[in-house]
Amino acid sequence: MKEKIWLSSPHLTGEEQKYVKEAFDTNWVAPLGPNVNGFEQEICDYTGIKSCAVLSSGTAAIHLALILLGIKDGDEVLCSTFTFSATANPIRYERAIPVFIDSERDTWNMCPKLLEKAIQDRIKKGKTPKAILVVHLYGMPSKMNEIMAIAEKYEIPLIEDAAEAIGSKYEKKAMGTFGEIGIFSFNGNKIITTSGGGAMVSNNSEFCKKATFLATQARDEAPHYQHSHIGYNYRMSNICAGIGRGQLEVLDDRVASRRRNFEFYKEKLNDIDQISFLNEPVGFYSNRWLSAILTDSYDTRERIRLSLEGKNIESRPLWKPMHLQPVFSSFPSYDNGISEELFNNGLCLPSGSDLTNKELSRVTDAILSIFE
Ligand SMILES: *Cc1c(COP(=O)(O)O)cnc(C)c1O
């Protein structure tokens, strides 16, 4: 059996160790220290946003974002249905109600038309939604002009789940910087990693200041431990932040490699009628975190997936929409069948930034052989 090709492996440079060693040498191994501050500043510089708080995970960042926007028991939050469960789970941590919005075909992300329809319908039912949680899936930006216009029209704050989209841009502006609050993930399988971690970014520095406060057990200023808020243990450690600093230095290279993977697949598989690709609309720049193909049917999708599996190549169906998940199926949803079709017919191919041409060819040869 040939060596396994993984879907998306961590890709370290070795430079991370410089920052980690510094942390060891200076004994800054706690959830504070020069790497934490440095990483936050460097994320601000990279994305062009005012403030950042680095945290233990992207999920923690979404949870704090909802808390900072005052989301409470019974409030409704409009949320992309086509996503990973970590987007929606924090809504339930606060006992709020997720209202799921389906996708459009140009980006596979939240459909602006359906979003507005949902808002009008919720208002008619007597409940104005308290936030919009929009996801840029697989690194592809959502239709931000349309979504921002709707958010402004109805005065609903916008949170961007850019967990998969650091390095992506919409009209030259970094994803995560459009909404009131944006979040990133540095989990092991994401485009850059801190082994595990996340960040909240905002142009309102108060949000990040408060997030840091809540993430470190909400300790009031006093010589003893005094608390007037419920706190969390959500801060990133100085060790993890050190890994993140090394990774951020090579983010643009990582994006270039992932985009090259996508182009490689597209070129090699272009002639197969049963397979299509999601192209970037004008003004959209995707980090191509995962390269995905769309097939003509569930059967084709499964034929490809199982054949790759037999050749020790990992692939994965696209995310199963939240409104179809047993844990969320009882919540309201506005669907048009698109995310369900993407889930049934789509497949993510190996997308690591460390894949060689030889490995990429193993993937495309395996797929081509099915259609010969
Ligand atoms: C990975 C991911 C998250 C969660 O990030 P963690 O750092 O793993 O907690 C949230 N949303 C999306 C879309 C993700 O892909």
Would the CB of 58 count as within 6 Å of ligand 1?
yes
Distance CA 87, CA 100 (A): 11
- Tokens 């020790």 label which residue? 312
Q: In testing the pocket of ligand 1, which one of 87, 200, 234, 289 has its CB within 8 Å of the most ligand atoms?
A: 87
Kindly give the distance from the C-alpha atom of residue 111 to the centroid of ligand 1, in angstroms, as a whole number: 21
Q: What is the pLDDT of residues 271-322, one digit of tens each?
A: 999 999 999 999 999 999 999 999 999 999 999 999 999 999 999 999 999 9
Q: In a 10 Å sphere around its CB, with 0-12 CB exposed, 13-18 middle and 19+ buried, how is residue 106 labelled?
A: middle
Kindly give the distance from the C-alpha atom of residue 202 to the centroid of ligand 1, in angstroms, as a whole number: 18
Angle separating helix axes 238-249 and 34-47, nearest 10 degrees: 30
Q: How confident is the model at residue 182 (pLDDT cuts 50, 70, 90)?
A: very high
More confident residue, 32 or 135: 135
Phi then psi for 241, rounded to 5 degrees? -60, -35
Phi then psi for 368, rounded to 5 degrees? -60, -35
pLDDT of residue 29: 80
pTM over 0.85: yes
